[in-house]
Structure 1
Amino acid sequence: MSAESDTQSTVGVETSIGWPVGGAVGGAVGALAFGALIWLFDPEVVSAAIPGIYGLDPVGVVGWGIHLVHGIGLGLIFGFLVTREPILGTLQMNPETESLSRTGITLRVVAAGFVFGLAIWAVLPVIVLPVWIEAIGTEAAADFPTAAVESMVGHLLFGTVLGIVFALVTNLHPERAETPLED
């Protein structure tokens, strides 16, 4: 291969460990924060309802494990999305309003996490979960708080913590860099 075809543009992402680790760690920490909030309101949601959406019995820490895996998966999706040129370019642009121009990329990534949490709440528990519960016909997940205020606040907390941790773990910068493609 020629040198020209051996490089790819990595728009604005420089990190020693990569966006997947930032997304996974941020998702895990965000899921723990969200799980703790749910546990304060209704521990049965974590211990019984979450395993119930998969038709599983509430045994031990199964609900916490599933919740943590959900958080890691969603964190990876966030990391992937926020490091792609259209979204990262938007986060890095120089807005014409003075108050927004004073914010840095870190605060903008945290805000993106907040919006991501809101989008997750609007799609997964509000739309997808009721259809899923109806399809599998399980009674264990019937008490799952799909559109409850606690669910929305928890997803916003998840997204905000995800954004904070992701911004701390990765180093987003406005420059473009050329990196060699790996075989």
Structure 2
Amino acid sequence: MATETAETTTGTGLGSIDSTQWLAGAAGGFLGSVLFGLVMQYVMPPPLLETVIPAMYGIEGPALAAGWAIHQFHGVALGLAYVALVQFDPFKEPARRIGGSLALGVAYGVLTTIGLAVIVMPLWLQAVGFPMAPPFPNVAFPGTVLSLVGHIVYAIPVALAYAVITE
């Protein structure tokens, strides 16, 4: 007599994330990075999108198409990172509700600004020898404020996409 056992997941690990949640993170990340890219291209002082972003990968600018492609890749990757992060308490339940996701989106925008724009980007650009690399830490007015706004504009669609899928 054959017996079958059913597998159950407890929801405590990354293996329990439904594929639609990953898709929501990727789609939200793509949309959010389009919005942030528009802020970068039309509001923030140049040459961020066409020169600085490509320079991180050794591409001499201006290279606007490369800057957009890299920026979109970063957006999708960070959208997936958001999905992974909200699997842990105390983020799991608030991330599933619209109100909670808005707060988490703003927090994720702040976190990515501090972690990436303020800390990682200047070190990375200095490491690749980019002549216009900002000082470390990269805290300057109005650039850091505009970066913060852009990262929040990015993160809200990520968080909302996740909430809509999981609500």
Q: Does 1:52 align with 2:48?
A: no
Q: 2:85 aligns with which of 78, 81, 84?
A: 81
Residues 126 and 133 in structure 2, CA contact (< 8 A), matched pair in contact too: no
| Secondary structure at the counterpart of residue 130 of structure 2 | coil
> How many correspondences in the alignment?
154
How many Å separate the matches in 2 of 1:107 and 1:44? Answer: 35
Q: Which gives a bigger RCO, structure 1 or 2 (Cα 8 Å, sep 6+)?
A: 1
How many Å separate the matches in 1 of 2:18 and 2:8? Answer: 19
Q: TM-score, normalised by structure 1?
A: 0.73
How many Å separate the matches in 2 of 1:49 and 1:129? Answer: 9
Residues 108 and 155 in structure 2, CA contact (< 8 A), matched pair in contact too: yes
Do the aligned partners of residues 118 and 43 (structure 1) sit closer, same or farther apart at CA in structure 2, a change above 3 Å counting? same
Residues 36 and 151 in structure 2, CA contact (< 8 A), matched pair in contact too: yes
| Secondary structure at the counterpart of residue 10 of structure 2 | strand
Do the aligned partners of residues 134 and 107 (structure 1) sit closer, same or farther apart at CA in structure 2, a change above 3 Å counting? same
How many Å separate the matches in 2 of 1:73 and 1:105? Answer: 22
Deviation of residue 3 (structure 1)?
A: 2.6
Q: 1:25 aligns with which of 24, 27, 32?
A: 27
Match of 1:150 in 2: 146
Deviation of residue 105 (structure 1)?
A: 1.4
Query: Which 5+ residue runs of structure 1 have no aligned equivalent?
Result: 93-103, 173-183
Match of 1:135 in 2: 127
Moved over 4 A (4+): none
How many Å separate the matches in 2 of 1:28 and 1:125? Answer: 18
Match of 2:103 in 1: 111
* 1:36-92: CA deviation from partner (whole Å, max 9, x where unpaired): 011112352111111012221233500000000000000000012113454214x27
Q: TM-score, normalised by structure 2?
A: 0.79
How many Å separate the matches in 1 of 2:150 and 2:55? Answer: 19
Which sits farther off after the overlay, 77-86 or 147-156? 77-86
Match of 1:8 in 2: 9
Deviation of residue 110 (structure 1)?
A: 2.0
Deviation of residue 153 (structure 1)?
A: 0.9
Q: Percent identity?
A: 28
Residues 27 and 71 in structure 1, CA contact (< 8 A), matched pair in contact too: yes
| Secondary structure at the counterpart of residue 57 of structure 2 | coil
The structure that is strand-richer by fraction is 1
Do the aligned partners of residues 123 and 112 (structure 1) sit closer, same or farther apart at CA in structure 2, a change above 3 Å counting? same
How many Å separate the matches in 2 of 1:136 and 1:16? Answer: 38
Q: What is the aligned-residue RMSD (CA, Å)?
A: 2.7
How many Å separate the matches in 1 of 2:20 and 2:80? Answer: 11
Query: Which 5+ residue runs of structure 2 have no aligned equivalent?
Result: none
Deviation of residue 17 (structure 1)?
A: 5.1
